[in-house]
Amino acid sequence: MSPDAPIGVFDSGVGGLTVLKALVTQLPRERFVYLGDTARLPYGTKSPQTVVRYALQAAEALADYGLKCLVLACNTASAVGLAAVSERIRDVPVIGVIEPGAEAACLASRSGHIAVIATEGTVRGGAYQDAIVRRRSDARVSAVPAQLFVALAEEGLCRGPIAESVARHYLEPLFNARAGGSRPDTLVLGCTHFPMLAEVIRAAAGPDVSIVDSAETTARYVRQTLESRNFAARHGEGSLRLLATDAADRFARIGGRFLERPIRPHEVELVDL
Ligand code: DGL
């Protein structure tokens, strides 16, 4: 395996660009190939069988680029498809976002009461809940689907009264002390889109709550994995190749906000899976 080989990053659409941004910050010399399955998103409301099938197709398409590592940036695909993809792509490390996010949450939480917000599919699959309890048997996990945040982030409604009211809708029942019992001290943003709404989420959860962004923690984990195997790129400037399965214009327009740099439509290559 050559340190010059690219890192593949897969997501259901543009959301994984938050993970890619964190990866580029951690690993600026790497070559990245990012695939967003824009023709078939959202994954968060689909059945596990369908998500696994889509994730396998995407992983195989990315493997053709001669990767040294594959990152499943999509929380839903990681939650239900990591085992199947790792089984299929055996020659390189396949890294999902759930385990690094769970690890960071367990480290951040003092009380052991951890809240997770994610898509319906991620919450239903129970992967965050399992990964947290496996690390901390005393943990109590309150997991809540927060599907509307996906649409808000894509619409660019990340601040203002609509975003604030949706954040209160999802988070007040979790963090309202009057609900009785213990209040979580840590909140995992278990979806690629949620870091875009971090400000309103933080305001609704309260200033004393630690927010865990699985994009940041996954990027650090990928760097450690590559360094421990001597796979990290040592020279070069790094590069980025963007692939999508549909709507290059929309990918560029919305993706630019997630990546925090403009994307021109002609930079996005359309591929068929
Ligand atoms: N990328 C998905 C995730 O992180 C969110 C968008 C979707 O539902 O496809 O779960």
Domains of the chain: 7-96+216-270 (3.40.50.1860), 99-214 (3.40.50.1860)
Counting from 1 in the atom list of ligand 1, the atom nearest the Cα of 77 is: 10
Q: Is 18 in the pocket of ligand 1 (CB under 6 A)?
A: no
Q: What is the predicted pLDDT for the residue at 180?
A: 57
Kindly report the average pLDDT of the chain as a whole number.
96
CA 224/CA 156 separation, integer angstroms: 33
Atom 2 of ligand 1, nearest CA residue: 74
CA 207 to the chain's CA centroid: 23
Rounded Cα distance, 72 and 97, in Å: 7
**If you average pLDDT over residues 218-232, what whole number do you get?**
96
Q: What is the mean pLDDT of residues 164-184?
A: 86
Q: Is 241 in contact with 33 (CB distance < 8 Å)?
A: yes
DSSP result, 204-217: HH-TTSEEEEHHHH
Distance CA 265, CA 267 (A): 5
Does position 179 have pLDDT exceeding 60, yes or no?
Answer: no
Which pLDDT value is given to residue 177? 64
Atom of ligand 1 nearest to the CA of 12: 9
Cα of 176 to ligand 1 centre, how many Å? 27
Q: Is the CB of 12 under 6 A from ligand 1?
A: yes
Q: Whose CA is nearest to atom 6 of ligand 1?
A: 42
Q: How much distance in Å is there from the Cα of 2 to the middle of ligand 1?
A: 31
Active site residue 158: no
Report the interhelical angle of 198-205 vs 161-175 (nearest 10°): 40
- Categorize the per-residue pLDDT at 235 as very low, low, confident or very high, splitting at 50, 70 and 90: confident
Q: Is the pLDDT of residue 272 over 60?
A: yes
- Indicate which atom in ligand 1 lies nearest the CA of residue 118: 10
Mean pLDDT over 257-262 rounds to: 97
Q: How far is the CA of 29 from the centre of ligand 1 (A)?
A: 27
Closest CA to 77 of 26, 29, 19: 19
pLDDT at 178 over 70: no
Q: Which atom belonging to ligand 1 lies closest to the Cα atom of 190? A: 4
3-state secondary structure of 1: coil
Q: Residue 75: CB within 6 Å of ligand 1?
A: yes
How far, in Å, from the CA of 184 to the mean position of ligand 1? 24
Task: Reply yes or no on whether the pLDDT at 136 is more than 60.
Answer: yes
Please, which residues have CB within 8 angstroms of residue 253's CB and are 6 or more apart in sequence?
Answer: 263
Q: What is the DSSP letter of 144?
A: E
* Residue 236 reports pLDDT greater than 90: no
Q: CB neighbours (10 Å) of residue 162?
A: 14
Ligand 1 close to Cβ of residue 78 (< 6 A): no
- Over residues 90-105, mean pLDDT: 97
Catalytic residue among 69, 74, 106, 158: 74
- The protein residue whose alpha carbon is closest to atom 7 in ligand 1 is 42
Structure-block tokens of residue 36: 């967003």
Side chain identity at 219, as an amino acid letter?
A
- Does 127 sit in the ligand 1 pocket, CB within 6 Å? no
Q: Is 106 a catalytic site residue?
A: no
Tell me 117's DSSP state: E
Question: What is each CA distance from 3 to 231, 236, 249, in whole angstroms?
Answer: 4, 11, 32
What does the alpha-carbon distance between residue 85 and residue 81 come to, in Å, rounded to a whole number? 6
Cα–Cα distance for residue pair 119/75, rounded to 1 Å: 8
Looking from the CA of residue 121, the nearest atom of ligand 1 is: 10
